Amino acid sequence: MIRARYFSKFTNNLIGLINGGVSAVIVPKSLGPAGYGDFNFLRDSFEGMVNTIDLNSSNAHFVYTSRLSDSRRVNLFQFYITMLVGVLLITLVTALYVTGKTGLFWPGQETAYIYAGAVFCYLSYLATNLTNLSDSKGLTVVTERYRRVFSLAAMAVLIALFLVSWLDLRAYFIYVMAMQALMTVTFAFILRRSGAFDFRLRKMTLDELKEVSGHFYRYSAPLVVVLFVGFAINYFDRWFLQLIGGSVTQGYYSLSLRLATVSILFTSAMTPIFMQTVAKAHAQGESAKISAIFRKIGVFYFTAAFISIFFSFHSREVVELIGGAAYSGAVVPMTVMMLYPIHQTYGRFCGAVLLSTERTDLYRNITVFTSLAGVPLSFILLAPESYFGLDLGATGLALKTVAVQALSVNLMLFAACRITGQPFMAFFSRQAAVIALLALLGFASSAAGAALFGAPGKAGSALRLLSSGSVYLPLALLLCLAFPGLLGVSREELNEYFTAFLRYIGKRG
């Protein structure tokens, strides 16, 4: 059952990867570094703001509903919270606008785009909540079928806007808001039709309210500090970069970050299902099952490292193809940022173990410690030389992001290994071995591509990517076959996964 749900999400994320590739080629070039930087600055700011106002109730809701066959009261409670999040978000933005403070919080941004960023992120928040509710109720295959349709339709609309030269910052905001609104309405319809939730406003008795809110409080209270500290520091990083470097530098960093997230698409498909399975096993006292599931995260780590390291060695070619000369300043930041998804994969699953087993206090302590440790590093790397900084711009923020991520994830990995009874050094040594071996393959394939096609320009970049990839892919596959332990599985388990995937593809065919 888990495999069917994962492969459904895997197929969707494969389509999402293609969609993301199309967007990566079209959007940065159409908006330009400044417009692309403005969009991502606003989106990332409001995503953090929405998550902070939510007070982690979405995760509490997901864990709670994963354990219960009848979760109507919990769903109703979360429904009221999501509406409250929207009201508070718009109220906050309006208050800043009325008092003339929007320019302070979002330097150089137009008011219309500030509101558009807020609406877009709230719609995305709604769609994510509905998707998680669908996953917790076993509706993954149904919702993912609709997501495939939306991904293909969104890709077609984006290409059409590009071909008729209508794609600017205004049109792009309208496009992303429309797509999120359609997804939200569709997922709500699926949930209502299945009987999982009917979206009717009902009164909750005082006893019901105490019971549900008590669970949410116990789960979320230790994480409130994490939310506020995390939002404040992440917002400061992007705000400081905007203030010091401006929209163009913001665009360089944004392009690097967005390209880096491509490597996380496959692993992100499994995270909600992983959290649900661990939460159920924890509620039933099945520690052996949690341990068995956790051992398999090596597959996802290797997948992320495989993609990330290849593109880290080919940052110049990717930037040339996607952004052209206007984004030449993004080459070094991308080289660094492509290392981010490698540890982010461990971070997702280790964080899921801590949250699903309700070790939220431990999760809080690790996150707050590493976040605060990154503040002086941000200042040193970003501040101008006149303020005793290195003035590294987008590259500086990329270095800080990767360094803090590596520290945070390995601390969480240590904690997760303690919980699941796994040897930490085995996971730690495996991640080092995977990075080292894939880096050797990346260097060799990059050198081969450069030797065969050293010509400058887009044609040369494309040929170098293709030729290097044709060397890198088979070498990586041979590495997996020769040493399946790098994936954290035995040879028999590797064959079993491959057979299951072929069976799933055969059914779809």
Burial of 416 per CB tally in 10 Å (0-12, 13-18, 19+): buried
Cα gap 251→38, rounded to integer Å: 7
Distance of CA 105 to the CA centre of its chain: 24
For the chain, the domain total comes to: 1
For the cut 50, the answer to whether the pLDDT of residue 152 exceeds it is yes
- Position 276 scores a pLDDT of 66
Q: What mean pLDDT do residues 108-123 have? A: 97
Q: What value does the mean pLDDT of the chain take?
A: 87
Percent of the chain with pLDDT over 70: 89
- Position 101 scores a pLDDT of 96
Integer angstrom CA distances of residue 18 from 222, 255, 494: 39, 17, 26
> What is the band of 509 on the pLDDT scale with cuts at 50, 70, 90?
low
Kind and range of the H or E run holding 45: helix 2-54
Q: Which residues contact 283 (CB under 8 A, 6 or more apart)?
A: 67
Percent of the chain with pLDDT over 90: 54
For the cut 80, the answer to whether the pLDDT of residue 22 exceeds it is yes
| Amino acid making up residue 338 | M
| Amino acid making up residue 68 | L
- Position 501 scores a pLDDT of 66
The answer to whether 340 and 402 are in contact (CB under 8 A) is: yes
Q: Which residue has the higher pLDDT, 302 or 17?
A: 302
> What is the band of 77 on the pLDDT scale with cuts at 50, 70, 90?
confident
Q: What mean pLDDT do residues 261-281 have? A: 66
Residue 156 in tokens: 């077609």
Range of the domain at 277: 2-508
For the cut 90, the answer to whether the pLDDT of residue 333 exceeds it is yes
Q: Which residues contact 341 (CB under 8 A, 6 or more apart)?
A: 260, 261, 262, 263, 264, 304, 307, 308
Q: Which residue has the higher pLDDT, 343 or 390?
A: 390
